[in-house]
Each structure stands twice: as structure tokens, then as C-alpha cells.
């Protein structure tokens, strides 16, 4: 808030540079609490015989959290801090996209059970991103770099969703193979082939975005003449290669369990890359 | 007083099939049976439902019968059952249940909602009950009470079905196959079904799959002749037996039911087929014993293999799941039963209420008509108010005339009883102070006003002296002509209504 007053007092934009360390907005805390509630409701939906309202209340809490989160992001955008500003902003944005995707599934299909995974994940990512000390802008962050970060966040968000759905697939598949006809996945689960198709669609959309972000990242580093000899760069390539091969084998008719497992592997690697970035920024390197 | 609903019959819960089949009635017999039942002195309305799991009579006692008539009515129905089916009464007594008073509707509603069925929540019973009711309506043995009861029973069944999960989940083995295939594929639209072996069960499963959207059904069997027969039955195609591998590759849901002592689908065969179909999911339902598919085939990637035990387990679980919903369903039934009996309770007084209302309205309307005619002709300022006041008094006098005449006449019921009834019906203050013979005008006026206020919403008090109410409607002319002298004396102290219409005036003159 002080920052905004400064802007108007000074009457000129250059002061924006002084605004960059903003305190979390009220909307941020509201979103955090609502994600917590949605997580509890999501886990509750997995119990043996939850009351009917739990199945509605979970997605509703998630929807409200999504709106609050959007409020926080736009509030920060007013202060000049956008999703491409730093890795931690990108992470916050990433969790927001994941939640948005979940809401689409919850409305369109019977995938509300996924909320039990999405809500805690979103809450953890948001809290880690916003409350960690690594929020300052990168030195020499150009437009190229910002687009790179935003695209990477978006791509990984889609992979994260794909991974959650793939996890659900594996759980259901294992249950069915072991003939465990339980009251949760068996009665309220979604058909395996629908989950499989959903994983594929998410990876299919996420992959070009992720590819573009890698290309831009390389270009950005070339611009900065930065060193390529860092652990996260080959790892990012591994993640990329995993998803590329996933798409190739799928095109050749592979599906089901193995492609779900491959999705999870690819996302895990991408996540590690993100975490290394975050840790590096936190350590100030 | 009033009809009493009762149930007499037996079901799978009380009688073995040997007894049930003896007592079962065919559809053709039912009209005759219903007529014979309602010919019994203590049975007015009757309905008979006869399915393989129950034979029950729903009936009522006559409207005018005392409450104790139920015992005779059930005895009549029991005797009829024993006679018509030539079963000894002792044999029958063991498995027959008789449900009277408040429980009869509860039982009927439970039956309609399939809560009393062998497979709870099954869908057939409601339809069977509708047919039974249709037969009763057709035979003119269903009256207002049974009609209302059945209408609410069907409404309850609908509510139970939509508001609880009582009908959710397949409850028999052949439809569980559909449920399992849906777990893998979601919608079955366009999926291809292969029957290996021409068993009856697999034909049933194929029908279920097809009704859920499955596309082509193919049949293959060692004996081509039987395959052809089955294919004709279910409108499927016959495929050659020796091409099992390529058949597996081309179909998504496979149902096996051969009598082969060795497995028909071995692991290597399924493995090769899966390779050909590029590991697209394959659901195999093996309902043969001994099994047709090697159990290890189920652990292949993309193969979902279920045997008879699995199907049965799912069906049992579904039924268990339905029972979990039974509490919610019973609550709905209790709610509906309560509403039904509330309706039943007011039925005996309904005709009296209606007659009373019509009588009061008729008297008021006749007087208002006369007053309106006078009002149209008199425009003096004081005159109009006088006419309206006079109208009120006239209506009150006319309504009071018959009850007062009855009070004064004595006889049965005694004036004391009538006084008690009137005090029950109207807010007259402390009863028993005024002797019933001498009623004064000042006492009458507030009574009339009170009556005008309360008559807008006729209440239904239990001890309605219906004789009094029924005696009331009589032509106004004769009543006025026979009016006792005391009434006329009171009336003469009031100024008479201005005479405008000749016929009305003539009537007034005659009474004065």
C-alpha cells in the first residue's frame, strides 16, 4: 500500500522500482484459508460415507479460493509485480492455473475427488512461493526472461494437473486389478479411459508451452551470456525429453498405466528444476 | 367410523415358494377374485397383487362400518383365500400376515418403494403394483381410500427412487458386467462385445451391454449351430471359433461362458491379442465354471479380468449399499404415511363439512340477493345502512332457526347433548347456565357474528352431530312457515326489510 501512495506522490512511474517488495495482500490470506478448507473437504470426500454436502462444498470452497487468489494476483499486478516477475510469483501463478484446471474438471466431469490432491498442493505451493524470502526481482530481468518464466510456470502447471490425473488413474487401475471394489474410487471414480484421455490432452497442450519456455530460456541466457553449466539445465532437458517421448509412444498406441507413470516422472523432473531455481534464489546465488 | 385400510397376504419373507405358488393368482383370475372379495359384507374396496414373491390383498372396510369391523373383514379375506386355493386354514395361518390400523399404509408404501422386496430397490414391483391397481380400478373395486393410498404409494416410490440411492448400482450378476465395463470405458457407446460360448447368462449380459449403448455383438462358439441360434436371439453376428486371437483384438468387452474344462483364453493368446490391439483396454468377464480364462491373463497390462465371484461380490456390495440408503427411504415413507393417515382421518367428516358450507352459503346468498335488489332502488343516506344491518340480522336468524327448533323440540339426541355439542362447536362461554328453551335476542346476536367469523374456515371437530347438520337443508319457505311463535315475536320488534321484489315481499308477508 505504501508503494502505491509513493507512486502517486511522486507522480512518475520510475518510482515503481521501489515497490517491489510488497507485503501479501488480505486476499492472499483468504485464499490460503479457503485452500485449507477445500483440502479438508477433499480429504473428507475420500472417507467411507461422507455426507452429501461435502461433494458440493469442496469444489465451492475451491472456487472461492480461486477467486481470492485471482484477487491477490491482480492486486500485486497493480503494484507492478506480475507472474513473470520472479520465480516465486510464477509459482503462485502456477498453483492458480492448476486450481483453475481442477475447477474445469470438477464442473465438467465427476473429477471432484481430485480436489483432495489439488487443494493441498495449491496451498503448499502458494504458501511456499509467497512466504519464502526469494521474491525479489532478478537482476537484469528482461522481457524475454519474463515471458520465459511465465510460460514455464504455465507449462509446468498443466503437467502438474496431468500428473494429478495420472495419479488418480494409477490408483483406480490398481484397485480394479486387485479387485478392490471399495466405496470411494469404485463408486465415485471416473472411468479409466476418460482419465487416460484427460492426461493425454493436458500433456498435449502443456508440451508446446513448455518447449517454447525452454527455447526462450536458452535465448535469454545467450542474451545474458550466462553459463550453461548448471544442474537445472540438463534436468530441464530431461523433463522435456520425457514428455516428448511420451507423446511419441502415445501416438504409436501406448496408453494406460505406462503413460501415466511416464507423465509422473516427467513432471517430477520439471518440479525439481523449479525447486532448484527457487533454492538458488533463496540463497541469493 | 369410516373405512379402515388393511393388508392381508404373504411374501417371500413369510412363505416358502411352495406355498407362494399355490396361492398365486393369474391376471385373468384377478377381476373375479376382486368382485368376490368386495361381495363380502365387511369389505368395500379391494386390490390384489400377485407376483412370484408376494400375494397380498389391500382392502378397506365399508365407510359406515365401526372400527371393529376390521377383524371380521380380515377373517373374511383369510377365509376367501383358504377356500379359493384349497389350502387348509392352519397351513395358511403360518405364513399369512394381517396388517391393520396404522401399519397397513406403511406396508403398502414399503412394497411400492421396493423396500420390502427380496432385492431391495428393484424396479419391477412398482410396475406390478400399478398393474394390480389398474385391474382393481377396472373391476370397480378400488374406491377413494385405496385410490388415494395407491396414488401416494406411487408418489412415495418415485420420491424414494430420486431422493435416495436405493436403486443405484447393479444388483444382479449379468448387469454388474455392464458396471465393470463402464468403470474402464466410461460410456459404452460404440464398444464392441464378443460372446465366447453360447450360454444363457452371457446372452443376458450382452443384452444389458447393448442397452447401455454397446455397438455390435459377436458370438463365437465351438458348435457353430448354437452360436447361430444365440446370434439370432440377440441380433448378433457369428464369428469363427478358430480366430479367437484376432477376435480379441477387435472387441473391447468379452464375455466367456463355455463349458470347456480347460481355459479357452490362455495367457500367451491374450498377450498376442493385446499386442495387436496396441494395449487398448480389454475387459474380460468370465462367467464360466470352471473358468475359461487363465487367471494370470488378468495381470497383463490393459487387461481387466473378472470372474463370477467378482461379479457376485460387486452385486452383493451394491445391495449392501442400497440397504445403507434404506434408512433415508424409510424416513420418506414415514412422512408420506403420516400425510396419508391425516387425509384418512378427516374423510368421515368431509361430506358434513361440505354440506354445512353449502347450506350456509345458500342462505347467505339468497338474503344478499334480496338486499342488493333493495339497495339498487333506495338511495337515501340512512336507508342503505339500515338495509345492510337488516341483512346481517336476517342471515343470522335464518341460520339459527333450525338448530333452535331442534333444541326446543327435545327427543333424541337430548337437548342436553345438543347443548354440549353446540358449546363444543361455538365459543358460547360457560355452558349450562342458560336453559336451552329460552334463547334471547341479545344472546343470539354475538353468536351470529361469531359464527360469521368462524364459518370462513370450517374446522373439523371430531364429534360432529351429523344428524343435525344433515337435517338442516330444507326449503326456506317451509322453514319460515313452521317457525315457532317466539321467533316471530322477536322478529316483529325489528323493522321489516323494504319490499321491492314482489316474490320476496310475498314471502316475507306470509311469514309475518
CA distance B496 to B482: 19
Of the residues B168, B195, B227, the one at which a domain ends: B168
Cβ–Cβ under 8 Å, residues B483 and B401: yes
Q: Between B392 and A9, whose confidence is greater?
A: B392
B375 domain residue, yes or no: yes
Mean pLDDT over residues B317-326, rounded? Answer: 86
Of the residues B139, B168, B197, the one at which a domain ends: B168
Q: Between B280 and B88, whose confidence is greater?
A: B280
Chain A / chain B CB contacts < 8 angstroms? 52
The distance from CA B386 to its chain's CA centroid, rounded to whole angstroms, is: 55
- How does pLDDT run across A84-104, given as a tens digit for each residue? 667 677 778 888 888 888 888
Q: Are residues B182 and B312 in the same domain?
A: yes
Q: What is the pTM of this model?
A: 0.65
Mean pLDDT of chain B: 81
Verify whether the Cβ–Cβ distance A256 to B298 is below 8 Å: no
Q: Are residues B444 and B504 in the same domain?
A: yes
pLDDT of B508 higher than 80: no
Instruction: Locate the domains of chain A by residue range.
Output: 1-132, 138-285
CA distance B177 to B180: 5
Which pLDDT score, from 0 to 100, does residue B203 have? Answer: 84
B187 domain residue, yes or no: yes
Q: Are residues B149 and B177 in the same domain?
A: no
CB nearest A193 (choices: B169, B184, B301):
B184
Q: Are residues B440 and B368 in the same domain?
A: yes
Band of residue B434 on the pLDDT scale cut at 50, 70, 90: low
Instruction: Tell me the nearest-neighbour CA distance from B27 into chain A, angstroms.
Output: 40
pLDDT of B482 higher than 60: no
Instruction: Tell me the nearest-neighbour CA distance from B111 into chain A, angstroms.
Output: 26
Question: What are the residues facing B98 on neighbouring strands?
Answer: B8
Verify whether the Cβ–Cβ distance A179 to B313 is below 8 Å: yes
Band of residue A122 on the pLDDT scale cut at 50, 70, 90: confident
Element spanning B328, H or E:
helix B326-346
Mean pLDDT of chain A: 79
Which pLDDT score, from 0 to 100, does residue B108 have? Answer: 95
CA distance B42 to B8: 14
Residue B277 grid coordinates = 490391439
Lowest mean pLDDT among A39-48, A252-261, B179-188, B332-341: A39-48
* Cα torsion through A61, A105, A112, A244, rounded to 10: -110
Verify whether the Cβ–Cβ distance A193 to B278 is below 8 Å: no
Verify whether the Cβ–Cβ distance B281 to A252 is below 8 Å: no
Query: Cβ–Cβ contacts within 10 Å for residue A269, how many?
Result: 20
CB nearest B182 (choices: A181, A191, A253):
A191
Closest Cα in chain B to A250: B278
CB nearest A191 (choices: B186, B301, B302):
B186
Closest Cα in chain B to A189: B183
Element spanning B304, H or E:
strand B303-307
pLDDT of B161 higher than 70: yes
Q: Are residues B365 and B295 in the same domain?
A: no
Q: Are residues B107 and B91 in the same domain?
A: yes
B154 domain residue, yes or no: yes
Of the residues B132, B147, B168, the one at which a domain ends: B168
Question: What are the residues facing B60 on neighbouring strands?
Answer: B5, B45
CB nearest B279 (choices: A177, A187, A253):
A253
Which pLDDT score, from 0 to 100, does residue A140 have? Answer: 60
Chain A residues with beta carbon closer than 8 angstroms to that of B324: 49
CA distance A122 to B469: 76
Residue B6 grid coordinates = 388393511
Which is it for the CA torsion A202, A98, A265, A261, positive or negative?
negative
Q: Are residues B296 and B360 in the same domain?
A: no
CB nearest B184 (choices: A181, A187, A192):
A192
Q: Between A152 and B391, whose confidence is greater?
A: B391
pLDDT of B444 higher than 60: no
- How does pLDDT run across B42-51, given as a tens digit for each residue? 999 999 999 9
The CATH number that applies at residue B189 is: 3.40.50.720
pLDDT of B324 higher than 70: yes
Instruction: Tell me the nearest-neighbour CA distance from B316 into chain A, angstroms.
Output: 11
Band of residue B270 on the pLDDT scale cut at 50, 70, 90: very high
pLDDT of B489 higher than 60: no
Of the candidates B90, B116, B92, the residue with the CA atom closest to the CA atom of residue B103:
B116
B403 domain residue, yes or no: yes
Closest Cα in chain A to B188: A191
pLDDT of B487 higher than 60: no
State the best of B171, B176, B177, B184 to mutate against chain A, taking most chain A CBs within 10 Å.
B184
Closest Cα in chain A to B305: A177
Band of residue B468 on the pLDDT scale cut at 50, 70, 90: very low
CB nearest A257 (choices: B280, B301, B313):
B301
B99 domain residue, yes or no: yes
Closest Cα in chain A to B302: A256
Lowest mean pLDDT among A123-137, B192-206, B419-433: A123-137
pLDDT of B363 higher than 90: yes
Cβ–Cβ under 8 Å, residues B235 and B217: yes
CA distance B348 to B344: 8
Verify whether the Cβ–Cβ distance B299 to A177 is below 8 Å: yes
Chain A residues with beta carbon closer than 8 angstroms to that of B279: 253-256
Q: Are residues B9 and B156 in the same domain?
A: yes
Which pLDDT score, from 0 to 100, does residue A139 have? Answer: 59
Interface residue ranges in chain B relative to chain A, Cβ cutoff 8 Å:
169, 182-187, 278-281, 298-299, 301-302, 304, 306, 310, 313-314, 317, 321, 324
Q: Are residues B419 and B500 in the same domain?
A: yes
Q: Are strands B97-99 and B45-50 parallel, antiparallel or unpaired?
A: unpaired
Closest Cα in chain A to B276: A253
Chain A residues with beta carbon closer than 8 angstroms to that of B281: 192-193, 256
Q: Are residues B496 and B354 in the same domain?
A: yes
- How does pLDDT run across A191-234, given as a tens digit for each residue? 888 889 889 989 999 999 999 999 998 888 887 777 777 787 88
Mean pLDDT over residues B8-17, rounded? Answer: 90
Band of residue B67 on the pLDDT scale cut at 50, 70, 90: confident
Verify whether the Cβ–Cβ distance B185 to A177 is below 8 Å: no
Which pLDDT score, from 0 to 100, does residue B472 have? Answer: 39
CA distance A274 to A279: 9
State the best of A49, A52, A177, A184 to mutate against chain B, taking most chain B CBs within 10 Å.
A177
Instruction: Indicate the DSSP class of residue B414.
Output: P
- How does pLDDT run across B104-152, given as a tens digit for each residue? 999 999 999 999 988 888 888 999 999 999 999 999 999 999 999 999 9
The distance from CA A244 to its chain's CA centroid, rounded to whole angstroms, is: 20
Verify whether the Cβ–Cβ distance A179 to B317 is below 8 Å: no
B336 domain residue, yes or no: no
Distance from the first to the final alpha carbon of chain A = 29
CA distance B464 to B421: 8
- How does pLDDT run across B16-33, given as a tens digit for each residue? 888 888 888 988 889 999
Instruction: Tell me the nearest-neighbour CA distance from A178 into chain B, angstroms.
Output: 9
Band of residue A44 on the pLDDT scale cut at 50, 70, 90: confident
Chain B residues with beta carbon closer than 8 angstroms to that of A255: 279-280, 302
Domain count, chain B: 3
Q: Between A121 and B491, whose confidence is greater?
A: A121
Chain A residues with beta carbon closer than 8 angstroms to that of B187: 191
B374 domain residue, yes or no: yes
CB nearest B281 (choices: A181, A192, A258):
A192
Q: Which domain holds residue B183?
A: 173-317
Instruction: Tell me the nearest-neighbour CA distance from A177 into chain B, angstroms.
Output: 7
Which pLDDT score, from 0 to 100, does residue A110 have? Answer: 67
Chain A residues with beta carbon closer than 8 angstroms to that of B302: 255-257
Instruction: Tell me the nearest-neighbour CA distance from B239 into chain A, angstroms.
Output: 26
Classify each residue of A135-151 as buried b or exposed e, where b means 16 or more C-beta atoms within 10 Å of its C-beta. Answer: beeeeebeebbbbbbbb
CA atoms within 13 A on the CB side of A116: 14
CA distance B140 to B189: 47
Which pLDDT score, from 0 to 100, does residue B366 have? Answer: 92
Chain A residues with beta carbon closer than 8 angstroms to that of B183: 172, 176, 186, 189, 191-192
Q: Are residues B208 and B313 in the same domain?
A: yes
Which pLDDT score, from 0 to 100, does residue A27 have? Answer: 83
Instruction: Indicate the DSSP class of residue B140.
Output: T
Cβ–Cβ under 8 Å, residues B360 and B398: no
Question: What are the residues facing B316 on neighbouring strands?
Answer: none
- Concatenate the DSSP letters of all residues of A234-247 into one string: HHHHHHHHHHHHHH
Which pLDDT score, from 0 to 100, does residue B349 have? Answer: 85
The CATH number that applies at residue B77 is: 3.30.460.30
Burial environment of residue B506 by CB neighbours within 10 A (0 to 12, 13 to 18, 19 or more): exposed
CB nearest A193 (choices: B186, B299, B313):
B186
B342 domain residue, yes or no: no
Of the candidates B177, B257, B272, the residue with the CA atom closest to the CA atom of residue B221:
B257
Which is it for the CA torsion B379, B382, B385, B391, positive or negative?
negative
Cβ–Cβ under 8 Å, residues A81 and A157: no
Residue tagged active-site, from B17, B27, B39, B52: B52
CA distance B78 to B96: 8
Of the candidates A270, A271, A265, the residue with the CA atom closest to the CA atom of residue A249:
A265
pLDDT of A137 higher than 60: no
pLDDT of B332 higher than 80: yes
Q: Are residues B475 and B362 in the same domain?
A: yes
Instruction: Indicate the DSSP class of residue B265.
Output: B
Band of residue A161 on the pLDDT scale cut at 50, 70, 90: confident
Is B149 marked active-site? no
Amino acid at each position: 500500500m505504501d508503494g502505491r501512495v509513493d507512486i502517486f506522490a511522486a507522480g512518475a512511474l520510475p518510482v515503481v522500482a521501489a515497490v517491489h517488495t510488497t507485503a501479501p495482500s488480505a486476499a492472499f490470506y483468504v485464499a490460503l484459508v479457503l485452500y485449507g478448507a477445500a483440502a479438508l473437504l477433499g480429504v473428507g470426500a475420500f472417507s467411507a460415507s461422507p455426507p452429501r454436502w461435502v461433494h458440493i462444498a469442496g469444489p465451492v470452497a475451491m472456487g472461492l479460493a480461486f477467486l481470492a487468489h485471482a484477487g491477490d494476483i491482480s492486486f500485486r499486478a497493480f503494484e507492478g509485480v506480475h507472474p513473470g516477475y520472479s520465480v516465486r510469483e510464477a509459482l503462485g501463478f502456477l498453483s492458480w492455473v492448476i486450481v483453475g484446471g481442477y475447477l474445469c474438471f470438477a464442473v465438467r466431469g465427476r473429477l471432484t475427488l481430485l480436489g483432495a490432491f489439488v487443494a493441498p498442493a495449491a496451498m503448499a505451493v502458494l504458501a511456499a512461493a509467497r512466504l519464502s524470502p526469494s521474491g525479489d526481482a532478478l537482476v537484469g530481468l528482461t522481457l524475454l526472461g519474463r515471458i520465459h518464466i511465465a510460460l514455464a510456470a504455465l507449462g509446468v502447471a498443466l503437467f502438474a494437473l496431468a500428473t494429478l490425473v495420472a495419479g488418480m488413474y494409477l490408483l483406480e487401475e490398481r484397485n480394479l486389478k486387485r479387485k478392490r471394489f471399495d466405496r470411494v474410487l469404485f463408486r465415485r471414480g471416473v472411468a479409466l479411459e476418460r482419465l487416460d484421455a484427460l492426461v493425454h490432452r493436458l500433456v498435449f497442450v502443456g508440451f508446446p508451452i513448455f518447449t517454447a519456455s525452454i527455447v526462450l530460456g536458452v535465448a535469454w541466457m545467450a542474451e545474458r551470456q550466462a553459463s550453461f553449466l548448471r544442474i537445472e539445465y540438463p534436468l530441464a532437458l530431461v523433463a522435456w525429453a520425457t514428455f516428448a517421448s511420451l507423446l511419441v509412444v502415445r501416438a504409436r498406441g501406448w496408453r494406460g498405466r505406462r503413460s501415466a507413470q511416464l507423465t509422473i516422472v516427467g513432471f517430477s523432473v520439471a518440479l525439481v528444476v523449479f525447486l532448484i531455481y527457487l533454492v538458488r534464489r533463496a540463497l541469493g546465488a | 367410523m369410516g373405512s379402515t385400510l388393511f393388508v392381508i397376504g404373504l411374501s417371500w419373507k413369510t412363505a416358502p415358494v411352495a406355498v407362494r405358488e399355490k396361492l398365486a393368482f393369474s391376471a385373468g383370475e384377478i377381476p373375479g377374485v376382486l368382485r368376490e372379495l368386495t361381495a363380502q359384507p365387511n369389505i368395500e374396496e379391494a386390490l390384489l397383487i400377485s407376483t412370484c414373491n408376494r400375494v397380498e390383498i389391500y382392502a378397506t372396510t365399508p365407510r359406515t362400518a365401526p372400527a371393529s369391523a376390521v377383524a371380521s373383514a380380515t377373517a373374511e379375506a383369510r377365509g376367501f383365500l383358504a377356500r379359493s386355493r384349497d389350502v387348509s386354514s392352519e397351513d395358511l395361518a403360518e405364513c399369512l400376515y394381517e396388517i391393520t390400523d396404522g401399519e397397513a399404509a406403511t406396508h403398502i408404501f414399503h412394497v411400492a418403494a421396493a423396500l420390502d422386496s427380496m432385492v431391495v430397490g428393484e424396479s419391477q414391483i412398482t410396475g406390478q403394483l400399478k398393474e394390480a391397481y389398474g385391474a382393481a380400478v377396472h373391476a370397480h373395486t378400488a374406491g377413494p381410500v385405496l385410490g388415494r393410498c395407491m396414488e401416494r404409494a406411487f408418489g412415495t416410490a418415485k420420491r424414494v427412487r430420486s431422493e435416495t440411492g436405493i436403486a443405484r448400482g447393479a444388483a444382479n450378476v449379468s448387469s454388474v458386467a455392464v458396471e465393470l465395463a463402464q468403470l474402464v470405458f466410461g460410456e459404452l457407446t460404440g464398444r464392441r462385445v464378443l460372446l465366447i460360448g453360447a450360454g444363457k447368462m452371457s446372452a443376458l449380459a450382452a443384452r444389458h451391454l447393448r442397452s447401455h449403448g454397446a455397438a455390435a455383438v459377436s458370438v463365437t462358439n465351438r458348435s457353430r449351430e448354437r452360436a447361430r441360434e444365440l446370434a439370432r436371439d440377440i441380433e448378433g453376428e457369428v464369428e469363427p471359433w478358430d480366430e479367437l486371437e484376432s477376435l480379441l483384438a477387435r472387441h473391447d468387452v468379452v464375455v466367456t461362458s463355455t463349458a470347456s474344462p480347460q481355459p479357452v483364453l490362455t495367457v500367451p493368446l491374450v498377450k498376442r491379442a493385446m499386442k495387436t490391439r496396441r494395449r487398448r483396454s480389454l475387459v474380460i468377464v468370465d462367467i464360466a465354471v470352471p473358468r475359461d480364462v487363465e487367471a494370470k491373463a488378468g495381470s497383463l497390462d490393459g487387461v481387466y479380468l473378472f470372474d463370477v465371484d467378482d461379479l457376485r461380490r460387486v452385486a452383493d456390495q451394491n445391495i449392501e449399499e442400497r440397504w445403507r440408503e434404506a434408512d433415508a427411504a424409510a424416513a420418506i415413507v414415514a412422512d408420506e404415511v403420516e400425510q396419508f393417515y391425516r387425509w384418512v382421518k378427516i374423510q368421515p367428516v368431509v361430506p358434513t363439512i361440505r354440506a354445512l358450507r353449502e347450506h350456509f352459503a345458500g342462505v347467505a346468498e339468497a338474503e344478499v340477493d334480496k338486499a342488493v335488489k333493495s339497495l339498487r332502488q333506495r338511495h337515501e343516506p340512512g336507508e342503505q345502512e339500515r338495509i345492510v344491518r337488516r341483512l346481517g340480522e336476517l342471515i343470522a336468524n335464518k341460520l339459527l332457526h333450525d338448530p333452535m327448533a331442534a333444541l326446543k323440540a327435545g327427543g333424541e339426541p337430548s337437548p342436553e347433548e345438543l347443548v354440549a355439542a353446540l358449546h363444543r362447536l361455538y365459543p358460547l362461554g360457560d355452558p349450562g347456565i342458560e336453559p336451552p328453551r329460552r334463547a334471547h335476542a341479545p344472546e343470539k346476536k354475538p353468536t351470529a357474528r361469531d359464527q360469521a367469523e368462524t364459518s370462513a374456515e370450517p374446522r373439523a371437530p371430531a364429534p360432529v352431530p351429523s344428524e343435525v347438520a344433515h337435517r338442516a337443508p330444507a326449503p326456506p319457505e317451509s322453514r319460515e312457515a313452521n317457525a315457532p311463535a317466539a321467533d316471530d315475536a322477536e322478529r316483529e320488534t325489528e323493522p321489516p326489510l323494504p319490499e321491492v321484489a314482489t316474490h320476496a315481499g310475498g314471502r316475507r308477508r306470509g311469514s309475518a
